[in-house]
Amino acid sequence: MKFAFVFPGQGSQSVGMMGKYKELPAIHETFSEASDVLGQDFWSLVNEGPADLLNLTVNTQPLMLTAGIAVYRSWLALGGSRPILLAGHSLGEYTALVAAGSLGFADALKLVRFRAQEMQRSVPEGVGGMAAILGLEDAVIEAVCHNVTARSAQESLEAANYNSPGQVVVAGHKSAVLKGIEIAKEKGAKRAVMLPMSIPSHCRLMKPAAEKMQQRLAQTNLRLPDIPVLHNADVQVHDDVDTIRMMLTNQLYSPVRWVDTIKAIAAEGVTHIVECGPGNVLTGLNKRIDRNLQYLSFFDGDTVNQARTVLS
């Protein structure tokens, strides 16, 4: 049996999400390690909140990385086999690289906190935005973005996440996003709504952050992954550390090609895809991409234990 693991990104977090895993091995140890690295009590934050503090990008990104690695380490500690392929949605790509042995956990924690800080600095509060558009073909949404951007040299709008057929997230200047929503509805979108995110990820507004990340990544030790990792920016596996650094840099202003990622995983003969981490957002998307695959979510301790039988 061939199976792959995918790791969720920002948006899957919630107060109390790790309480469902607290009896698993490696959960507390991993959170303690993260707290020591960044000097912050992550276990209290994830279990007690408050939600506003948990949802701050500078906290969410290292927390989601920690959660994904804690669950993955627990899977291995319980005797689970290693997957043949890894991928992660946006921030989840860092989790995948840690699981693959390409990036040290401590280094990854520092990187994603730095990433979050630079993303926020790149676009002042209220200037950028993101919106989910449902029920339109990708080409129609891309045309909407082009239409909005062509109207003004001061505004930009781009497809940021190709999440599933009929679900694309766009990002850019807030005024452009609002205009895009209006046009998308005129084009027949079933739904087009602003997302509660002030940072317009995966668009050209993130290029200043990408430049800072490029400098930081050049100083970070990476090694070749033990398990192949599909990257968001080009949906390819790379066996050169400088190229991996480039992919992490490009990821900030390139769209997340999740539909293509799941198709690429299926093309490798994978039969099961496991969402490793809190929630089941990716599993919902994946089912709409390829109905022929089997999907599991490690959303609590029971599902992790049960999967050992399925994936044996």
Per-residue pLDDT in tens (0 to 9) along the chain, 312 residues: 899 999 999 888 989 999 999 899 999 999 999 999 999 999 999 999 999 999 889 999 999 999 999 999 999 999 999 999 999 999 999 999 999 999 999 999 999 999 999 999 999 888 999 999 999 999 999 999 999 999 887 899 999 999 999 999 999 999 999 999 999 999 999 999 999 887 999 999 999 999 999 999 999 999 999 999 999 999 999 999 999 999 999 999 999 999 999 999 999 999 999 999 998 999 999 999 999 999 999 999 999 999 988 997
Contact (CB, 8 A) for 15 and 47: yes
**Token pair in block for residue 118:** 């630079």
Annotated catalytic residue within 90, 102, 254, 297: 90
Distances (CA, A) of 279 to 111, 153, 198, 267: 24, 39, 22, 26
**Separation between Cα atoms, residue 226 and residue 238, nearest integer Å:** 12
Q: Both tokens of residue 203?
A: 């668009």
Q: How far apart are CA 121 and CA 117, in angstroms?
A: 6
Give, in degrees to the nearest 5, the angle at Cα 89 between 292 and 312: 50
Residue 206 in tokens: 């993130």
pLDDT for 62 equals: 97
Give CA 266 to chain center in angstroms: 19
- Identify whether 35 is a catalytic site residue: no
Report the interhelical angle of 57-77 vs 105-122 (nearest 10°).
160
What ranges make up the beta strands (E) of 54-127?
A: 85-88
Q: What is the pTM of this model?
A: 0.96
Chain mean position to CA 26: 22
Give the tokens for residue 76.
Answer: 């291995």
Query: What is the distance of C-alpha 77 from the center of its chain?
Result: 24
In this prediction, residue 312 carries a pLDDT of: 78
Residue in 202, 231, 254, 297 annotated catalytic: 202
Q: Which amino acid makes up residue 77? A: A
Contact (CB, 8 A) for 97 and 239: no
User: Does residue 102 have an active-site annotation?
Assistant: no
